[in-house]
Every structure is written in C-alpha cells, then in structure tokens.
Amino acid sequence: MPPSGGGTPWDRRGQIGFVAALFETTKDVLATPAEFFRRMPVTGGIGGPLLYALILGYLGVVISALYDTVFRTVMGDPFAGWGRRGELERILPLLEGGSSFLFQLILGPFLILFVTFVASGIYHLVLLLLGGANRGFEATFRVVCFGQAADVLVLIPFCGSLVAVVYYVVVAIIGLAEAHGTSRGTAAAAVLLPILLACCCCLAALAAGVGMVGGLAGMLGHGR
C-alpha cells in the first residue's frame, strides 16, 4: 500500500478512476520525474506497476507498428522492384506491412514483460555492485515500469522512437536515484554501463565479422 502522505496517481486509480490515473501518472513521470519517484512507494507489490508498464509499453508498440506500416505502404521497399511485376508490386508493401503489424501486436506484451524484468535485473545488479542499491529489487522494478511513460513520445513523427529512448534513459536515472536514495552519478552508471557494454559487444562482433570477411577475401585472392 502507498504511504499515507504520498503515493502516485496510479496508486489511487480506485479513487480517481483508471483513465485519470493513467493520464496523471504519465504526465507526472514526464513533467516532474524527480518529484514523482520521490513519492513513489518502493514496496507494495509489482502487479500494479507492471500493469502500467504493459499498457504504456503496448501503446508504444502499437504506435510504432502503425507508423512502420504507413511508411512501408507509402514509401515502399527500396528493393521492391527486384523480381516483382504488375499488381503484386503495388500491393506487396501493404501485405508486408500488415503482417509485420500483426506480428508486433501479438508478440508485443511478451516482449514488454521480458524487457521489463531483464532491464530491472541488470540495473539492480549494477546498483548492487556500485553500492547504490539502498532498497530492494522492487524499487528498481517500479522505476523501470513507470519509466515506460516515455513510450507516449513515439507519437512524435519520424524521431519519436529516438526521443522516447533518450527520455526513458533520463527518467530511469532520476527514478533510480530517488527510489534508492543514491547519487545521480551512481544511477547514471547503472543505466548507461549496460548500454555501453552492449555497444562494445556489437562493435566487437562487427569488427570480428569484417575481419573474417577480409581474411576470406584474402584467401580467395591468393588462391587465384
């Protein structure tokens, strides 16, 4: 249960109404994240926050899928002309967009669940290693769930997804700092270090792939 003097609009959805709580919570997270996470209960169960994450996360999936479908339909595939003729060439982008849209709608909730738990676990582990996990895993999990408020920013045409990711990182840093009573620097490390590590792994894999292709090309050249 939320503390008597605090809590969030989402904790009071039974009193103020579901839609109002959803709107107010999202507005507070985006506009005043420090204040929101400062009064956010760090215990009380994961069901409520997870429901919020599923709703906002799925909204982001639906909007992104719609934009992608419209873009495919209007712009088409840059390789659409290869091997296609007549009416098939005209309707194939629409069919491909529709199947991709349906695929994302079906898998969306499962992906959101997976990412929410994995991200929470990684952030909390880094906080533990840095000595910044002053409260339990649930505090971290709640921050990750309510951070999904940033998904509404995918509504911005063209750059919405990028804006949403950047703002989510900002919200997560502020939220972890407030929820665990730790410094912003420690919270930033918990969020950014896994991203940096993932980027390094991708670059290493890319370099290895380029090296393998270069080596193969050299062997083929010597064999002539």
For residues 110, 115, 117, 119, the Cα torsion angle rounded to the nearest 10 degrees is 180
Count structural domains, the chain.
1
**Torsion over CA: 14, 18, 21, 26 (sign):** positive
Per-residue exposure over 162-184, b if at least 16 CB sit within 10 Å of its own CB, e if not: eebeebbbebbbbbbbbbbebee
Do 128 and 180 touch, CB atoms closer than 8 A?
A: no
165 within some domain? yes
Q: Do the domain assignments include residue 67? A: yes
Name the residue with tokens 């989510």: 168
Count other Cβ atoms within 10 Å, centred on residue 48.
Answer: 18
CA 140/CA 40 separation, integer angstroms = 11
DSSP state of 216: H
Does a structural domain hold residue 178?
A: yes
Residue 183 lies in a domain: yes
Domain that holds residue 72: 9-222
The reply to whether 87 falls in a domain is yes
- Assess if residue 2 is contained within a domain: no
Spans of the chain, pLDDT less than 50? 1-5, 78-86, 88, 90-92, 94-95
Residue 186 in domain? yes
Give domain status of residue 76, yes or no: yes
Taking the C-alpha atoms of residue 171 and residue 149, their distance in angstroms, rounded to an integer, is 9
